[in-house]
Chain A
Amino acid sequence: GQQVMQIPQYQHVQEGEDFTTYCNSSTTLSNIQWYKQRPGGHPVFLIQLVKSGEVKKQKRLTFQFGEAKKNSSLHITATQTTDVGTYFCAGREYNFNKFYFGSGTKLNVKP
């Protein structure tokens, strides 16, 4: 069945350092979404990628969708303490109405 693997599980960085989390799917995806969950909170939608090779930016966040539509990454430039939280990817297969979430990458930023 569909599996979405996400690495690393944890990342501790000094404020100002960069951060990247990677998502890999066992099957080709229709689209992929990224969410952020603050400690004790609920997931909040960040972005959706649909096209092969797509790159989208949101201020210091850069999202990429692989050419084969089986992998994706989220890169944060110059992390800030407000970036603390767990970042999840969620992939959707073609012809299915459900998303499979990765296990998340927990980011801790030391001031």
Chain B
Amino acid sequence: NAGVTQTPKFRILKIGQSMTLQCTQDMNHNYMYWYRQDPGMGLKLIYYSVGAGITDKGEVPNGYNVSRSTTEDFPLRLELAAPSQTSVYFCASSYSDRQETQYFGPGTRLLVL
């Protein structure tokens, strides 16, 4: 098992550009999450999904969109990049609400200039 994989590892965007952060898991987990971590801070939940076709907002959803067309993939879309979105983005997955261990991907470091 590769676990949770994220691409790209690092990206520089100009203000107003768009991009999609990819997240894939091969553990057949139902639950998937997107977090952002600003320097020296904790993780803030952006969006989460409890299964294919179901997504919901977290604490800081503004400026982002997600989709969950398959169990394996949970891409995060930034439509109009802003400097405030400079952060490290982590994708995580868990099997269910009873086995809630979250497995994190290696992260995507995003810089918006």
Contact = CB atoms under 8 A, between A and B. Distances in A.
Contacts of A102: 42
Contacts of B48: 97-98
B45 A45 contact: no
A47 to B, nearest CB: 9
Interface string B86-109: 000010100001001111111100
Contacts of A31: 100
Given A33-B100, A45-B101, A48-B100, A99 B45 contact: yes
Interface string A18-49: 00000000000001010100000111110010
B45 A42 contact: no
Interface size class of B (residues with CB under 8 A): 20 to 34
A92 B44 contact: no
Contact of B102 (A1, A6, A45): A45
A42 B33 contact: no
B33 A98 contact: yes
Interface string A68-105: 00000000000000000000101010000111111110
B31 interface: yes
Interface string B1-44: 00000000000000000000000000000010101000011111
A106 B37 CA distance: 14
Nearest to A92: B100
Contact of B42 (A1, A6, A92): A6
28 contacts: A1-B59, A31-B100, A33-B100, A33-B101, A41-B106, A42-B105, A43-B92, A43-B104, A45-B101, A45-B103, A48-B101, A88-B42, A88-B43, A90-B43, A90-B102, A92-B100, A97-B31, A97-B48, A97-B50, A97-B56, A98-B48, A100-B45, A101-B35, A101-B42, A101-B43, A103-B42, A104-B42, A106-B40
Interface of B: 31, 33, 35, 40-45, 48, 50, 56, 58-59, 90, 92, 97, 100-107
